[in-house]
Structure 1
Amino acid sequence: MTESSSESKQIEAFRSFKLVRLLNEDTGTKFMSLLGKIGSQDAIIVAEKTAFNTSPEILAKFQEPSNLSALTMLGQNDIYHWFLASHSEPDNEKRPEIKFTFIYPATETHIKKYSRQSLRMVTETPQLYRELVKPYMESTRVGGRLNWVYNILAHQSEAEKIVFEDTDEHEGFILLPDLKWDRKTLTSLYMMALVHRKDIMSLRDLTKKDVPWLRRVGHKIASAVCEAYPEFESNQIKLYVHYQPSYYHFHIHAVAISHDGGLGQTAGKAFLLGNVISQLESMPNEESSFADIELTYVLGEDSELWQTVFKNL
């Protein structure tokens, strides 16, 4: 199948989406997630409003009727697809306005992830991590959930999006735009660095001896972002990791500090890389790690981790 016919097939699938219900919405970040069907299979559309064109010419036309007129496919990796919708102006000028993340076929885990849910603060002790949380993490790394990550690391998907790569098997990483970013609006710049190492599921696996490596990686990420986007200086880029992360392969987020990323950048979810490094440095010996300390963080009540580990504690 040619690349163009593959793209046509995915656009056809996207257009055949039949809405079942609204899963979630956030007026602050202009985000909504929709559950639907394509034939008998579940699918999810995540719609995010990109930045408005606020030029005087566009503002003058803002009251005029308009609608979405075209779809441009940004990319595909495993079950994830990304589109930009275009907005037709009276003079037939088209400009990207809405970025869609299209998940098809979607699993029950995806449906729960993108649904509105109550949040809980949980405290994870070292014992709780070792006995219950770590086995849960390990169980999620089988069955293909990380295929899209391994596709990127093997240059089988999204190779054209790579901004920077350090190919060293232990030290290296791939830096590319996160699927949350439309790759156009610099004030919401959002990059992701996937490390080549596969022995780190989360910050829990980081030890004091990883400090020099983390410093080098952080410096390289900031430098690569600034080289690719000269509008930024290194102190305008925020580097952090999530706990709990959405998937258990260690990665670092690089975000413009002007970008309000919602819950993903708040206390109880985001741990600044600089603070992670400082905490590791203060540990007593080279083998000391984040597995040895108590962590408090936020979980959704519909998450697998809440349901399988914390709900009945």
Structure 2
Amino acid sequence: MTGAERDLRAFKFERILNQDTGRKTLNLLGTIDGKPAIITAEKTAFNAARAPLFVSPSDGLQSLTLLQKNDIYHWFLASIQQSTDDGDAAAKVNLIYPCTDVHIKKYSAQQIHMVVETPEVYQQYVTKYIEGKVAGGRLNWVYNILEHREESEKIVFEDGDKLMGFILLPDLKWDLVTLTALYLSAIVHRTDIRSIRDLTPDHIPFLRSIRSKILTAASERYSLAADQLKIYVHYQPSYYHFHLHVVHVSHDMGASATVGKAILLDEIIQTLEVMRLVGEKEMGYRDLEITYLLGEEHDLWRKIFEPLKEGRAPSI
């Protein structure tokens, strides 16, 4: 048993943070050796290769129970035979340990609000919030990847140029098996871009280069056409080092890819192109109003947007 598995088995349940019956996910809060930990679990996709055995009592459906019958329609409950290999596992489980209050808030069920971040709010308040999020080694796990100290065996593609380059690797949310659920992350080497707010028309060649190389590398590795992939960024992002999400177009990403969260890379490039053509000064995303979703547990809501909504001064 590996150390990571021992940690997982030592998890002591405290409470459910959130569950999504539609996407079959469950987020649990607990402790491991007295330190807070989060487990996220999701049901994996059906293995199509086992479809011929689906109704077999030994290799497919088991413990079959008829719930209801109406004319030609029948409803059953059943357990399904699952093998222990990665290709046919019943669930994908992620462990965050030790976790922080930020993780707990992120994975908790919460009321969502649509907020409008003006350039003034961004400059006066949000930049201070970002500074706090990049201080104190909070991005060490990103630098571990970029410097090949962690996850180097997972790299799908790397352009090592420190200005134009990036690393492409599978996201932890992907089971590494189901192609229609493909999910990759592209993390850039440069450190001067924290979010889309830092992008200007000068970054167009950089973004076009990344787009081309991601599509080529992912298409070649996974035998997918380029038009079967979508590339987007988040605002606000989960961490403030510029990175991109690459997913199969058929993959239902839920809130992660919804309007108010995800912005297509192509859209970003076109917006910057328009800025270059019509701007009377050097414009960038810092000059735009950006409307996005925030949960009530997010510090940006509690410290900035809720006070602004109520006519109070932000507390950041």
Name the TM-score class by shorter chain: 0.7 to 0.9
Match among 52, 57, 62 for residue 53 of structure 2? 57
CA distance in structure 1 between the aligned counterparts of 2:288 and 2:251, rounded to whole angstroms: 30
2:62 aligned counterpart, secondary structure: coil
Residue 18 of structure 1 corresponds to 12
Q: Is the 8 A contact 1:112 1:302 kept in 2?
A: yes
Deviations 1:26-72 (A, max 9, x none): 1222111000122321111000111122513134234426xxxxxxx
Mapped partners of 1:63, 1:258: distance in 2: 26
Q: Any idea what SS the aligned residue of 1:28 has?
A: coil
Identical amino acids, percent of aligned pairs: 51
Correspondences of 1:28-39 after superposition (within 5 Å): 28-39=22-33
For residues 251 and 286 of structure 1, what CA distance do their matches in structure 2 show?
27
CA RMSD of aligned residues (A): 1.9
After TM superposition, the structure 1 = structure 2 runs for residues 106-255 of structure 1, keeping only pairs within 5 Å, are 106-230=99-223, 232-255=224-247
Distance 1:130 1:181 in 2: 35
* 1:39–1:272 distance in 2 versus 1, CA, 3 Å: same
Q: Secondary structure at the match of 1:221?
A: helix
Residues 41-80 of structure 1: pairs in structure 2 closer than 5 A = 41-54=35-48, 55-61=51-57, 62-64=60-62
Displacement of 1:89 in angstroms is 4.5
Q: Does 1:258 align with 2:218?
A: no
Partner of 2:297: 302
Q: Deviation per CA, 1:63-108, whole angstroms, max 9, x where unpaired?
A: 426xxxxxxxxxxxxxxxxxxxxx9959x76432211110111111
Residue-pair matches, total: 285
Give the unaligned 5+ runs of structure 2: 64-78, 309-316
Q: 1:89 to 1:63 in 2, by over 3 A?
A: closer
Matched, 1:277 2:275: no
Give the Cα–Cα distance (whole angstroms) in 2 for the partners of residues 302 and 17 of structure 1. Answer: 24
Equivalent pair of 1:173/1:193 in contact (CA under 8 Å): yes
- Give the conservation status (yes or no) of the 8 Å contact 1:187–1:259: yes
Structure 1 contact 208–286 (Cα < 8 Å) conserved: no
Task: Tell me if the contact between 1:123 and 1:297 (Cα under 8 Å) persists in the aligned partners.
Answer: yes
Q: Is the 8 A contact 2:61 2:80 kept in 1?
A: no
Tell me if structure 1 keeps the 8 A contact 2:61–2:81: no
In 2, Cα distance between the equivalents of 1:21 and 1:228? 40
Q: Secondary structure at the match of 2:145?
A: helix
Distance of aligned partners of 1:102 and 1:285 in 2 relative to their CA distance in 1, 3 Å threshold: farther
8 Å Cα contact 1:209-1:287 kept in structure 2: no
The farther-off stretch of 98-107 and 167-176 is: 98-107
Which amino acid counterpart does residue 52 of structure 1 have in structure 2?
F
TM-score, with normalisation over the residues of structure 2? 0.86
Is the 2:54–2:61 Cα contact (8 Å) retained in structure 1?
no
1:312 Cα deviation after fit:
0.4
Taking the aligned partners of 2:229 and 2:81, their CA distance within structure 1 comes to 34
Q: Deviations over 1:198-250 (max 9, x none)?
A: 010000000011111111110110111001011x1111110100000100000
Alpha-carbon deviation of 1:286? 7.7
CA distance in 2, matches of 1:185, 1:59: 21
Structure-2 residue corresponding to 1:81: none
**Which is greater in Rg?**
2
Q: 1:57 is aligned with what amino acid?
A: L
What is the Cα deviation at residue 285 of structure 1?
6.1
| Aligned equivalents of 1:183, 1:112: Cα separation in 2 | 27
Whole-angstrom distance in 2 between the partners of 1:226 and 1:242: 23
1 CA distance for matches of 2:232 and 2:254?
14
2:92 to 87, 90, 99: 99
CA contact (8 A) 2:170 2:183 kept: yes
The residue identity in structure 2 corresponding to 1:29 is R
- More off after superposition, 33-42 vs 175-184: 33-42
